Structure 1
């Protein structure tokens, strides 16, 4: 780790990020409740990429609050962009699950990761469904509103529940083939539309797999660390590559490693952690 960031500095950032995620998450939920869906200014920016007034307000609030405490850190956000720097970098999705948010489906969240030297050291996710915050510091376990969470102990695929994401940047035929394969193994599956929340569902043991072939870094980094610290097996490309171009993420219950090994082969990734 960068010598400028000892354990005390990391804990201080985690505490502020938790408070910011909760505050901004609640403000964003309140803005949605108080707005008619037809009045939300939605612009089509491309494939599955919508920006709203709420997105911009939330990201600016997160940026201002984090950098007011840590002005030497750099910031990379879904809306405003930015680059990772030699110091630590905050990687933020102000509303992960924007389409869900617009339509009033509460499966969305706020994702805040802190990256140092190509490693995610802090992950914080506000879960709008439950109005709770998940967080992890590398090496310190995973928590939901301060209480430890753990990946499921599922070992029988017939008892597994999986969540699959799909980007229009990837093949829908491949997605269907994967869904069919999992179905034939007896697994139940969902597609929910918010990667950060899907990853914390694996972390807390509510789901046994989350997999998506292409995500941006701000969608996945916080949730991936939380899942890993909860004991899930997590595989993804190097963080610097994800920051530059995005990529796949796989997180699953450790007892189902053999079941999901073929996904690692599809993506050409090394075996997951642990």
Structure 2
């Protein structure tokens, strides 16, 4: 536990974050259901990198909900920016998987992490596919709507299901080579386009691996903690580096550590 925050302070923040994530996620889902395509006011930030009015409205609602209760905390959001501080910082992606959200493909999430002392202390992910909330507090296990979840016990690569993300900031040839290598080992694989969702799929044992070579901190931190607390093996750069530069993340079921060790070598993790 971070010395600046005792167990009660962390628990209080987690309870608020769960409530805020559920409310914000449901409101974003309702807004998408009720909107005409033009109402979403889609803006293009880059190739296949979009932002909508829903992203901004959802982030503002999350900011207000968290900082109203904890006004001394810092806030870093994908859309509004911000910075981390020496105390605690909320790191938020209001809609992870915006392209999915725009198109009505329900693999998107609200991702809320709380970072203190260079560690992720709280992770909360609203899963729009099931209208449920995953959460974890460091050292306390991982939960889906309050029920414990656990990484899969898969040990045979021929039974493995993996999820691979891909960023346009990294080599597509490398992505294809990795896909080929896993395919040759008998693994089935997916790409869904929402890192927070992919990480909680590893946490609940629905997938055996999630790997992406470059993500921003708000995409991964909450889901990574949830996966780790569910018993998955998680590797990523130091949190302080991720907050400034982003980076890779790998989360996998422990029985397949030998299968995925080469990825750690590639990334130097």
TM-score scaled to structure 1, two decimals? 0.97
Determine the C-alpha separation between the residues in 2 that align with 1:219 and 1:72.
23
Q: CA RMSD in A?
A: 0.7
Q: Which runs of 5+ in 2 are unaligned?
A: none
Task: Tell me if structure 2 keeps the 8 A contact 1:196–1:222.
Answer: yes
Partner of 1:159: 159
Partner of 1:36: 36
**Offset, 1:48:** 3.5
Determine the C-alpha separation between the residues in 1 that align with 2:238 and 2:47.
24
Partner of 2:143: 143
Determine the C-alpha separation between the residues in 2 that align with 1:158 and 1:131.
31
Partner of 2:177: 177
**Offset, 1:47:** 3.7
Partner of 2:64: 64
Partner of 1:225: 225
Task: Tell me if structure 2 keeps the 8 A contact 1:47–1:169.
Answer: no
Determine the C-alpha separation between the residues in 1 that align with 2:210 and 2:158.
16
**Offset, 1:4:** 3.0
TM-score scaled to structure 2, two decimals? 0.99
Determine the C-alpha separation between the residues in 1 that align with 2:48 and 2:104.
17
**1:200-223, CA deviations, whole angstroms, 9 ceiling, x for partnerless residues?**
000000000000000000000000
Partner of 1:113: 113
User: What is the total number of aligned residue pairs between the two structures?
Assistant: 269
Partner of 1:272: none
**Offset, 1:49:** 2.3
**1:100-131, CA deviations, whole angstroms, 9 ceiling, x for partnerless residues?**
00000000000000000110000000000000
Determine the C-alpha separation between the residues in 2 that align with 1:184 and 1:49.
31
Structure 1: 4+ residue segments shifted above 6 A: none
Residues 1:257 and 2:257 aligned together: yes
Q: Which runs of 5+ in 1 are unaligned?
A: 270-274
**Offset, 1:2:** 4.2
**1:64-83, CA deviations, whole angstroms, 9 ceiling, x for partnerless residues?**
01000000000000000011
Determine the C-alpha separation between the residues in 1 that align with 2:47 and 2:143.
33
Determine the C-alpha separation between the residues in 2 that align with 1:141 and 1:267.
27
Determine the C-alpha separation between the residues in 2 that align with 1:203 and 1:100.
21
